[in-house]
Each structure stands twice: as structure tokens, then as C-alpha cells.
Copies of this chain bind each other. A is one copy, B any other.
Amino acid sequence: MGPGGEFDLIRKLLGPEQDLPPGVDVGPGDDCAVLEGGLVISADLSMEGIHFQRDWLTPEEVGYRATAAALSDLAAMAAEPLGALVSLALGSVGPGPSTSPGAGDEAGLTVADSAALAMEVQKGADAACQREGIRILGGDLTRSPGPLVINVVVLGRAGSPVLRTGAQVGDEVWVTGWLGASRGAVRLWERGEIPTGKLRESFALPRPRIREALWLSERVPIRSLIDISDGLAGDAGHLAAAAGNAVVLEETSVPAHPALAAVLDPGEDSALFSLQGGEDFELCFAVPPNTLDEWVDPFQDSFAIPLTRVGEVA
């Protein structure tokens, strides 16, 4: 039941969708719940020691990353963000991140230490919100007996939310951006090295593809949409499972991140590495054949990331 297994267990836990109460259009199982009127809402819990290690990230990066990950669920519905609620639990502090070697070991925090730490995390969460034009609306703050915990709930609005369920046989499957850099950063940390540049950024400061999703949904009849948080191989499978069909990925067309060259072992396949790579927060979506081609260049001009056809629905 690691981060990757949550999807299936949540569905099992929360029961069938058919008994949704009045006022709820989509319940558990998609990226967000959808209420009457197009209000969408989603929660994302990040846990020290599971989703990140404290010596990998600064407190500000912890806040930014958790919030960006939650906002990515709005992108996965093609929703406009309205606001976020950030709940935080913190207590003991491990060694500082490797990029600030002076931080030392700070176990046994005073209230002032905790407040300062909370404000750093909050600053990062705020920055991720501000990038999308929203604010933190509230939240909770409490002591933790150990790990730092941050839960971010995002609220948005979608005129016509794009679900996971609409893919049809013959649809093309596309992804935004490059994949695998976040997994590449984790590999470096696990080797005792410190990722920098694009590799670090893709793990520590990921960019939810909210504007990209809105842009695409205004121009192309997107049939189903998901954000890549478990790796393309896993999430394309979720897309297929939700629609009751299968996605055939073409490994040779996977857009492996160029910065991976510095990470891979000799002879290791970058496409395979990227397919199984964790939290890219890029979008994966299905469109009817030949509906997207004309928009590939305008998309790249607008957002400076590629749009790549990676397979089809079978």
C-alpha cells in the first residue's frame, strides 16, 4: 500500500459510485470529486519518509511540492483553481537538507523553531498557489510526534470536467512534457548524490499542468484525462481501467527527459526508465484520431513543452 497502491485501495474502501447523494456528480475514484455546478475538490496527503525525505528538500520545497501535487488533480479535471486548504503537522526535525549543510541536527524543537519551520512550509505552499492565481483559504496546524505531514485540499471549478472514463477504442493517447526526471532525481538522492537543475526542479518544484489542460480542453475533444503521479505505465492503465479498455503504449515514443542522460546506468533504456518513473505531474489523455495534430505546434509555442503521441486505446 505504498503511494502507488492508494488508488485501488481507496476505491475499495469508498464503495461503489452508484449511491452518490444528491448534489454530487462524481464521487471517489476520479482525480477530483465533482459537485453540482461544476465545483471540484481533491485531497492529497504527503508524508515524510514516504513521499519525501527531509534531507532531500528544504521546508519551502516540501510545501511547494505537496501543493503542486494537489493542484495537479485540478489539471487532471481541466478545472480552474479556486483555493487550497493546507493542514500541517510537524514536530521533531531531522538534519537539514543537503543543500544547506549548516542546518545541523535540530531534534527537540522549541515553539519558535516549529513556527519558523511551519512558516517556511507555508511559504512554499503559498508560492505554488500564487503561481496559479489562488490563495490558501485555511487549514490546520498541529504538533506531530515525529514525521512532517502535509495535507493539501484543492478546490476548483470546471465547466465540463474531463473524467478518466471516456476513452474509446481507437483514441490516440498523448502526454505533455518530458517524463522520468522526478524519478531520476530520486535515484541520485538514493545514490547519495544531490540532484540539481531540471532534475531537482522536477521533483521539488513540479508544475501542475493547469493552464495546459484548460488550453487543450478548449481546443480538442479530450475524451479522458489523468495526471501522471504513478508513472505513465501505471496511470495509462488507470485511464484504461476506468473506461473498461486497454492502452497500448509505444515505448519508442515515450518522451524521456533529456536530463536523464546524467542518471542512467550504461545501456539502461531511458524510455523504460521514464515509463515507470514516479511523480512527473504531466498530463496523459485520450483524443479521437487526428484531432490533435494541428495543435501540437501552437501548444509547444505557448508552453515550451512537447506534446507527444505515446499510444492508442485498444
Contacts and interface: CB of A to CB of B under 8 A. Distances in A.
Copies in the complex: 2
A141 B13 contact: yes
Contact of A145 (B32, B33, B50, B139): B50
Contacts of A149: 45, 47, 89, 149
A140 B28 contact: no
Contacts of A83: 21, 24, 33, 35
Interface string A130-146: 00011111111111111
A87 interface: yes
A85 B153 contact: yes
Interface in A104-128: 111, 114-115, 118-119, 122
A286 interface: no
A12, A32, A82, A135, most chain B CB atoms within 10 A: A135
A151 interface: yes
B27 A151 contact: no
Given A118-B13, A140-B45, A82 B35 contact: yes
B153 A6 contact: no
A49 interface: yes
A24, A85, A138, A145, most chain B CB atoms within 10 A: A138
Contacts of A43: 85-87, 138-140, 151, 153
A264 interface: no
A47 B144 contact: yes
A20 interface: yes
B145 A9 contact: no
Interface string A17-45: 00011011001100011010001011111
A140 B44 contact: yes
A14 B140 CA distance: 11
A217 B208 CA distance: 41
A31 to B, nearest CB: 9
A13 B88 CA distance: 11
Given A137-B24, A139-B10, A146-B146, A45 B88 contact: yes
- What 7 pairs across the A-B complex have the smallest Cβ distances? A49-B145, A33-B137, A151-B151, A45-B87, A45-B140, A43-B85, A33-B138
